[in-house]
Amino acid sequence: MPTPAEKRSRLRALHESGCFVIPNPWDAGSARMLQALGFQAIATTSSGMAWASGRLDNEVPLDEALAHLAELAGAVDVPLSADFENGHADSPEDVAANVQKALDAGVAGLSIEDMSQAPGHPLYETALAVERVRAAKAATTAAGAVLVARAEGLLVRQMDLKATLDRLAALADAGADCLYAPGLRTADEIAAAVKAVAPRPLNVLMGAPGLSVAQLADLGVRRISVGGALARAAWGGFLRAARQIADEGRFDRLAEAATGAELKALLRR
């Protein structure tokens, strides 16, 4: 098993050139299967982990999130980046303290959102968002980990494209190693974001069919994640099969399941 320092070095190297996909498992089994499929790094999904524990996204407390990070980091040899929500804190000081806890859990990198979850005011003001990233950067720099700063304005429909790109640029200036704006859709929007954060790498979320890896690479995207989409795909198969059993008393959908032999082969160390 590589050391945390070795994993962090490998994750940083992936961001230096080219384009890579960093898929999002929700438990140790899905993490190990993604590694077996050849992905060079993986990232957690806060929504996928929450659904697996019977909760909604942003309902998992910090101690459980940290235990989840430690479990996944210890399950695979490839680097793990954490979807660390908003750092589970508002103040820059508390964000930095919690980032250190995530690093102690063994992650190679993590993302920090600018979303406060406050009713009526879902986003932090720019000045506070910048200070939160600057505080997280101090912790990740000391560990050699990769810090991803997320601008959520498009996702929660609180910012237009220009305001989102301005927020991304400010977060890049605060020291983020990689920038991420969920909600970018078109090639033109993605190309504008790549330009806004250059020379820092841009992460693009692909949660549905759309541009291919090759097309995103041609636009200058360095990193591609899928968020909770793989977990939703798994739950989709589960629900289709379970509903057929419940509603029709039929088991046809079980023919679509992975075989035990396939799962055993992927999980074999």
**Residue 43: inside a domain, yes or no?**
yes
In a domain, 269, yes or no: no
Q: Is the residue at 127 inside a domain?
A: yes
Total-model pTM: 0.96
- Percent of the chain having pLDDT more than 70? 100
Q: What is the pLDDT of residue 132?
A: 98
Q: Does a structural domain hold residue 114? A: yes
Among 234, 221, 248, smallest CA distance to 26 is for 234
Q: Number of folded domains in the chain?
A: 1
Amino acid 142 reads A
**Token reading at 89:** 């804190």
Whether residue 238 is contained in a domain is answered as no
Query: Which residue range is the domain that position 77 belongs to?
Result: 4-228
Instruction: Indicate whether 39 belongs to any domain.
Output: yes
Is 87 inside a domain boundary? yes
Q: Please state, in angstroms and rounded to a whole number, the distance separating the CA atoms of residues 215 and 220.
A: 9
Q: What mean pLDDT is reported for the chain? A: 97
Mean pLDDT, range 245-254, rounded to an integer? 98
CATH of residue 106's domain is: 3.20.20.60
Tokens linked to 235: 């739950």
* Residues 20-67: tens digit of each pLDDT: 999 999 999 999 999 999 999 999 999 999 999 999 999 999 999 999
| Average pLDDT, integer, range 159-170 | 97
Residue 133: pLDDT over 90: yes
Q: Is residue 245 part of a domain?
A: no
Pairwise CA distance, residues 16 & 8, whole Å? 13
